[in-house]
Amino acid sequence: MYGSAAYNIYAQNNVGIESPAKLIEMLYEGVLRFNAQAKKAIKDGDVEKRVYWMNRSTAIITELISTIDMKQGDISLYLEGLYNYQIQLIADAGCDNSIEKLNECSNVFKVLLEAWRETTDVA
């Protein structure tokens, strides 16, 4: 219990000092990490953990949607639609216990993460 609390404090402090570009990278990585945990929970038949990890992924994607600068034109609309579709995939994966749908979502975020790293100077 203490280790978890200490990690949470560290994570909160760490986020406070990161650049916006690094934060987006961390959010993309979080979706990938949480989807992997949800897939493991599906394989293990652990409904509680599956729901927990899928909710965490969905929360991150919702946060990503809230950070979109809608003044950027078509790309903003594209990202909003893409993110919303990923939320739908996660919801469908939860209903169907579908690792394939989680893989589809993870594949999108792998591509987004790679593209983000290529276009930003995140170290």
Write down the pLDDT at residue 121: 72
H-type alpha helices, the chain: 2-17, 20-44, 47-66, 74-96, 99-119
Nearest C-alpha neighbor of 108 from the set 57, 71, 70: 57
Digit-coded pLDDT (tens) for 72-112: 999 999 999 999 999 999 999 999 999 999 999 999 999 99
Which CATH number is associated with domain 19-119?
1.20.120.340
Q: For tokens 């690792």, what's the residue?
A: 99
Write down the pLDDT at residue 1: 45
Domain ranges in the chain are: 19-119
Digit-coded pLDDT (tens) for 107-116: 999 999 999 9
pLDDT at 4 > cutoff 70? no
Q: Which residue has the higher pLDDT, 20 or 93?
A: 93
